[in-house]
Structure 1
């Protein structure tokens, strides 16, 4: 029945039908007020989240985004509240580079993460604009999208009776999965911070379980009380605040940057959604200078990036020399994400850049190898490499190594080379000690015959999703 027929109809029996129809049309036009909070000053975290925020804004919802990275250029329907914090400030606080952190005992690193997490949340919630938002009674939110280390903001969800979505820009840690009741499968899922293989023996399972228990105890007795204290101190106008833990476990949904085709098999509740590849877009045309390099490289290109947080110039000298020697022996051109203007002793086949359009480079099909950190926010995590390609694990998060091992064991075309055999360590600094071994391994991978794969070359993880899937 059309609106015209309702308007023209004179029969009273159609009256309620018209009312119901108009009510349905009106409710379909309503948008939600959404608050998104990200306290970690890591650009890659925003790269992962931005497509979701932009899509929500495009669909007519009003978003307020608290983060260190405002939208550039500004996006319609998104209001940014910028946090004045950078990764440099936390580098100074910990007084060590990320390379040096790789050598820290994971038990010590656990204590550090608890402290730094509370510091990040306190820095965010104490920002004057954020305080104005908390004390204001003129703003109503229907949904809170909370990132890692943002538990002190959960009081806002209580104030506005808003639903809570937890978004995790990496693979799922056990403590984060607890938000919606995911089981902590210590017996067969290695903790993301431990350097242990996928197929754990009894001692490794015991260590994994002990470490998981320690994480739970530290969270319960140290981290959560700290977050509770911060929430109460900076949310004084919110009455009857529940505990942080109660609010955390009232989360409706958890979004994780993972995908079943490259991750480990693990039990997940129905409201834990894997959205790995959400940030991957179709490749665009490259800038002229990069296009020239790729077009003129007869042997292909190697793309080398340590991500947005690791400053490559802080690399220990022996590891830097190892890379230099290795790259100088290769026939391929190398695109190296380098944070300085110059590099001493740079080989002729190495091209430096403080920033590269990584998604567009990987989408050209000209990249023979993607040498990167193991962050799941990297486009190379989900762009399929050619069957002769190589992905080098360079991070301290072992879960990504496990994912690559799983991917290769099930017929995938990723190869994780530990560059200092037989240590089999996933930490990048142990990966890169033997430059000649690296050069030989890389050459071998580049020139080997095609590796059988469950995917066709050129397929990416995003393309394997059911068409029309919306997040």
Structure 2
């Protein structure tokens, strides 16, 4: 007993000695983004590290003595203002060209607001503030100004799958012949036309990142840190590690450099008991429950009346099935069926964990799909923008869900999709298979995460993980300079042969002429 107690004390001292000061910068004013990023913060705090976390939804974090929060809820206000001034809304279908350019402007506005914050300005001026590591969300290369200011290593986190431009910055090969861009609805098995379009979208991602995101971020960085600061591209190319919130159950296989780690779902917490009314409803729903939520950005109350009516009519056809619907209003919609229950907010993860849940109707967001995979719940996905179509197609390809185009919603499509998922157990079996794959790892997700974060700290940025490909120009990486050199040699060789043959023929003709004379 004494030996165990002494061992515990020694381990506690070692843990304290290994404690690091970490700055987490994941500001996106979107609850789903905040969930994944702040899940990382929570894991590091539990491991004993001091974490200063910049967050737009600080309420997600559990209080802890080692946790210091910089509240950036103001970014939500800036987003609402941006929507009005730019006629921008995620409540409608957005193509990549509709989405990326305005979003880079919004990210610039948010980054400028962060640097302009009085709290951040005071922190930057303080000579006592020191950090050992920066962790930031990959949408904001401008936040690497903190890396420059504090002269520390950086780890980049991305909450959605396969963003090609960021993978390229880490040296990961992204081949469009079998790796689908996350803004497409393609799987990893593509036709000729799909590979053509996928190549275009991948190049478009890289173009936006290089010619929209970097220049905007550079301008903000120079405004606050002076003209001598390196470019955001230079700083991004020197990230120590890329942490991806995903795994092979949620994405497609692709080659990754040692500086890129897939850790799986990051935001899940131990399940809590449901509120009594929900617990009773789901416990008593012997024929099952349908859960309807379009996420934190797309609101159910924004559904056009004709589309809402389609769902109402479809739900009425399954009177014994209870329907839990996220409805962001105190006023019920007219003609609500008796089997439909409306709530402004629902504890999604705890609902998905209930044994009586049969179907999840979702927008197809990454975090929602991760939760559905974790609990083995089949999906009806109604994607609108960004990575949602990509996520939906992945579930469809795995026969773990169905997809309904938002702009092609009809009663028949919704009814048939519900009927198929409620009566055909292959979707449940396939989602449970994906759940098994997702959970079958040598370590728990948060253990993998904290081990790699501490690895980077222990090895002072772990420069040995950095592949030399990051120092090559694109034409060197693709061997175009080598191919050009070989072609040049080939044409020189051909020309020499031609020149020699021409000279020989000329010489032979001259000799023939002399002889005939």
The two structures have a TM-score, normalised by structure 1, of 0.84
CA distance in 2, matches of 1:150, 1:277: 21
Further displaced range: 65-74 or 29-38? 65-74
Distance 1:298 1:317, change over 3 A: same
- Please give the secondary structure, in 1, of the residue aligned with 2:155: strand
**Does the 8 Å contact 1:262/1:407 carry over to 2?**
no
Distance 1:93 1:198, change over 3 A: farther
2:288 corresponds in structure 1 to: 300
1:281 corresponds in structure 2 to: 269
1:383 aligns with 2:360: no
Distance 1:188 1:459, change over 3 A: closer
**Does the 8 Å contact 1:60/1:77 carry over to 2?**
yes
CA distance in 2, matches of 1:443, 1:235: 58
Further displaced range: 121-130 or 332-341? 121-130
1:63 pairs with one of 35, 48, 51: 51
1:436 aligns with 2:412: yes
1:343 corresponds in structure 2 to: 332
2:83 pairs with one of 81, 87, 91: 91
2:423 corresponds in structure 1 to: 447
CA distance in 1, matches of 2:284, 2:243: 41
1:364 aligns with 2:340: no
CA distance in 1, matches of 2:135, 2:213: 20
**CA offset at residue 404 of structure 1?**
1.4
CA distance in 1, matches of 2:426, 2:183: 33
**CA offset at residue 393 of structure 1?**
4.1
CA distance in 2, matches of 1:462, 1:90: 38
CA-based RMSD: 2.7
2:403 pairs with one of 414, 417, 420: 417
2:103 corresponds in structure 1 to: 113
CA distance in 1, matches of 2:62, 2:259: 33
CA distance in 2, matches of 1:391, 1:75: 38
**Does the 8 Å contact 2:373/2:434 carry over to 1?**
no
1:139 corresponds in structure 2 to: 129
**CA offset at residue 107 of structure 1?**
2.1
**CA offset at residue 25 of structure 1?**
6.5
1:81 aligns with 2:81: no
**CA offset at residue 35 of structure 1?**
0.6
2:180 pairs with one of 183, 187, 190: 190
1:205 corresponds in structure 2 to: 195
2:31 corresponds in structure 1 to: 43
**CA offset at residue 359 of structure 1?**
1.1
Greater share of helix: 2
**Does the 8 Å contact 1:303/1:335 carry over to 2?**
yes
Provide structure 1 residue ranges, at least 5 long, that are not aligned to the other structure.
Answer: 4-21, 409-413, 419-427
CA distance in 2, matches of 1:222, 1:457: 41
Distance 1:406 1:264, change over 3 A: farther
2:18 corresponds in structure 1 to: 30
2:41 corresponds in structure 1 to: 53
- Please give the secondary structure, in 2, of the residue aligned with 1:270: coil
- Please give the secondary structure, in 2, of the residue aligned with 1:382: helix
**Does the 8 Å contact 1:384/1:457 carry over to 2?**
no
Distance 1:452 1:382, change over 3 A: closer
**Does the 8 Å contact 2:362/2:382 carry over to 1?**
yes
1:249 aligns with 2:237: yes
**CA offset at residue 240 of structure 1?**
4.4
**Does the 8 Å contact 2:376/2:432 carry over to 1?**
no
Distance 1:450 1:407, change over 3 A: closer
CA distance in 2, matches of 1:449, 1:214: 40
- Please give the secondary structure, in 1, of the residue aligned with 2:374: coil
**CA offset at residue 357 of structure 1?**
1.2
Q: Which has more radius of gyration?
A: 2
